[in-house]
Amino acid sequence: MAMLLIAKRLPLRSAAAAAAIESRFFLRPAVPLIPIRKYRSDRSRHDLPFSKYEQQRLPINWGVRIVREKEVYVVERLGKYHRTLDSGIHFLIPFVDRIAGVHSLREMVIPISCQSAITRDYVSILLDGAVSVKIIDPILASYRIKNPINTLIRLAEEIMISELGKITFDKMFEERNALNEKIMRAINEATSNWGLKCLRYEIRDISPPPEVMQAGIESRKRAQVLESEGEAEAILITAKAIAQSLEILSQTINAQGGAEETRQRVLELCVQAMVHAAIKQGRIKPNFKIVH
């Protein structure tokens, strides 16, 4: 009403502005804020920042609150924990009850940004990962530690770097699954009273420095060259042995004067081979006999 009286005293342009102000601030229905969680993981390999879990400010208590499925609200009354709201419609006392926490009971997969680590044999590597987390106790997650998700992300990054420092670069690829299990167990031990549970941890990309990759390529090339040289040497030795055997056999035949007998024997073996081949192909009967 006051705005209408002011509008009568003002010019047309000012009256339109006043009407716009009234419709914007007084007639617009109030919309409660909905918490939105965002994950940020900068994969830049120069500054290597930590992953971030951002949550907007908590919703305002308008007296009636509808909680979605797989979500819980932690409510305080006069600054003290009062109750936990499950999915459904709930009635609260404005200015007395306050929503102190909104938690999702779904499994959350949080990316771990690229980190730099040093293995036990002093090889510097860059790697990132992903951690699967689920809130199992909303009360502990609200009061035990401030911002538990971000703290868990920091903890996961530190544990990953620490565990990689205990193994060598070569064993890192062989023991990747075991390393993931160790990191997951260490996270669960450290966060046992935070109301969280780490379901899985996965190291995704492992990138050694360029000089290490070049050294590995050169090592594989040397191994291939050595293998080829070994095969060539083995073929040469075999050929020499066959040649020596044939030379010895030829000398023995010539010394005994049995060249004709040897030729006859070779012909017999050739005929037998041809007969066996014909039997397999079904051209002659199996009881076929060679008549000398």
Residue 87 CA to residue 68 CA, distance in Å, equals 5
Are residues 176 and 247 both part of a single domain?
Answer: no
Lowest mean pLDDT segment, chosen from 14-23, 125-134, 214-223, 273-282: 14-23
Confidence of residue 58 (pLDDT cuts 50, 70, 90): confident
**Domain presence at residue 25:** no
The pLDDT assigned to 135 comes to 92
Are residues 148 and 287 both part of a single domain?
Answer: no
Q: Which amino acid is at 250?
A: S
Are residues 50 and 190 both part of a single domain?
Answer: yes
Q: Locate 181 and state its tokens.
A: 């299990």
**Domain presence at residue 12:** no
Around Cβ 197, how many Cβ atoms within 10 Å?
Answer: 17
Are residues 145 and 163 both part of a single domain?
Answer: yes
**Can you give the residue range of the structural domain that contains 271?**
258-292
Are residues 53 and 188 both part of a single domain?
Answer: yes
Are residues 130 and 241 both part of a single domain?
Answer: no
Around Cβ 101, how many Cβ atoms within 10 Å?
Answer: 20
Domain end marker among 211, 246, 276: 211
Neighbour-count burial of 13, counting CB atoms closer than 10 A to its CB (0-12 exposed, 13-18 middle, 19+ buried)? exposed
Q: pLDDT higher for 163 or 245?
A: 163
User: What's the angle, vertex CA 109, arms to CA 106 and CA 111, rounded to 5?
Assistant: 155
Residue 92 CA to residue 62 CA, distance in Å, equals 8
The pLDDT assigned to 174 comes to 83
H helix runs in 147-194, sequence order: 148-164, 169-174, 176-190
The pLDDT assigned to 59 comes to 82
**Domain presence at residue 218:** no
The pLDDT assigned to 91 comes to 92
**Domain presence at residue 39:** yes
Are residues 132 and 40 both part of a single domain?
Answer: yes
**Domain presence at residue 183:** yes
Are residues 177 and 238 both part of a single domain?
Answer: no
User: What's the angle, vertex CA 235, arms to CA 229 and CA 239, rounded to 5?
Assistant: 145
Contact 13, 94 (CB under 8 A): no
**Domain presence at residue 283:** yes
How many domains, in total, are found in the chain? 3
Residue 59 CA to residue 74 CA, distance in Å, equals 11
Percent of the chain past pLDDT 70, that is, above it, reads: 61
Are residues 143 and 288 both part of a single domain?
Answer: no
pLDDT (tens digit per residue) in 188-219: 999 889 999 999 999 888 887 676 666 666 66
**Domain presence at residue 26:** no
Residue 140 CA to residue 136 CA, distance in Å, equals 9
Lowest mean pLDDT segment, chosen from 81-85, 152-156, 168-172, 263-267: 263-267
pLDDT (tens digit per residue) in 8-19: 444 444 444 444
Residue 121 CA to residue 227 CA, distance in Å, equals 27
H helix runs in the chain, sequence order: 2-9, 12-25, 138-143, 148-164, 169-174, 176-190, 210-256, 259-281
Q: pLDDT higher for 63 or 239?
A: 63
Q: pLDDT higher for 52 or 149?
A: 149
**Domain presence at residue 274:** yes
SS3 assignment, position 180: helix
Are residues 141 and 38 both part of a single domain?
Answer: yes
pLDDT (tens digit per residue) in 87-129: 999 999 999 999 988 888 999 999 988 888 888 888 888 888 8
pLDDT (tens digit per residue) in 143-160: 988 888 888 999 999 999
Are residues 243 and 178 both part of a single domain?
Answer: no
Q: Locate 47 and state its tokens.
A: 């500054």
Q: In terms of Cα–Cα distance, which of 91, 86, 82, 88 is closest to 105?
A: 86
Neighbour-count burial of 122, counting CB atoms closer than 10 A to its CB (0-12 exposed, 13-18 middle, 19+ buried)? exposed
Are residues 200 and 262 both part of a single domain?
Answer: no
The pLDDT assigned to 11 comes to 44
Number of residues that make up the chain? 292
CATH number at residue 50: 3.30.479.30
